[in-house]
Amino acid sequence: MGGFRERVARKVAVIGSGSWGTAATGLVGVHADEVVLWSFEPVVADGINETRHNPHQLTSYEVMPCVRATTSLAEAVGGADAILLVVPSAHLRRICEQLSPYVDSTTPVLVLTKGVERDTGCLMVDVVEQTLGGASRIAALSGPNHAEEISEGTISAAVVAAEDPEVARYFQQLVVSTAFRTYVSEDVRGVEVCAAVKNVIALACGIASALGAGDNTLAALMTRGLAEMTRVAVAMGADPLTCMGLAGMGDLVVTCTSHHSRNRTFGEAFASGETLEAYQARTGMIVEGAEAARSVLQLARARDVEVPITLAVHQILYEGRPLADAVDMLLGRSPRDEFYGVAPGARSGEDHAE
């Protein structure tokens, strides 16, 4: 995409006002004159404009002076030099379809949503391409990035993947800071698969932990989860080494172990008797791992990939499998080659930080 290096970001649109969308305004706000945050909820938009705080998520975080909020998609993206998509995976297609009339065909788009679309098997970048067009201008960002720590300026890192290296470099520069290190990759599918599967593994870790699993068990579960993630990625044509980087192992570790992780904490809550609906209502957050347990399993079955942990989580959440069987289900498979189904990678998935 010629001329990308010369592009500036006077206005950046952030679509989605959850915790990650709110934190992302601080990343791009350093480099843009104006950041417009779109919210579905008028109370959130009004709260941000009136108090500089999101009344529902990251309530203690004060957004930058350059940030304003709106409930109008047309207002948010009109004249934007770049767009960040940070909405739940189940709503991404609908939101993009609504955005389509207002988005210029050359405007670069960065996808921060993580997941696989149910029934279609589409990755999030596929959904964006199908609804907004222009695969070459689309990038995905992923990594071990809890919004709570991003908003506090804690040192973090992420990988930006795009088919066009100039697009990846453009977004790399748009979000980079001394506290937020960004690396680039051309392995979009690998980054996207890792982002989806790790949420399922984190949910499994939460269930296992609540049922009394020790550190050894959880370490084994995460390691087997990494192998599972890699099998799916390879089946999608990705570089297996991407799964060993920030979007894979890095995000897997933090999502499986942190108290900030909604997937890990939901797994704990579910094992203690709380339903998915009750948890999401209580926290105001979407549990992407619960949705991914369905969509990743569909994707794996369509490509004949073994995903025993994802299958176990699906059976526990949606098929009434007793929790008493959970740990045995999550780990109880006949031993075989540790990385069966994974071919050696030919290249590294990530490039250096700027």
Q: What is the set of active-site residues?
A: 198
**What's the rounded Cα separation, in Å, for the pair 157 and 143?**
7
Report whether 145 contacts 179 (CB < 8 A): no
Element (H, E) at 237: none
Polymer length in residues for the chain:
354
Report whether 238 contacts 342 (CB < 8 A): no
The side-by-side arrangement of strands in the sheet containing 11-15 is: 67-70, 34-38, 11-15, 82-85, 109-111, 138-142, 156-162, 180-185
Among 235, 195, 208, CA closest to 309: 208
Element (H, E) at 128: helix 124-132
Tell me the two tokens of residue 38.
């779109």
Report whether 34 contacts 11 (CB < 8 A): yes
Report whether 160 contacts 182 (CB < 8 A): yes
Report whether 236 contacts 187 (CB < 8 A): no
DSSP 270-301: HHTT--HHHHHHHH----HHHHHHHHHHHHHH
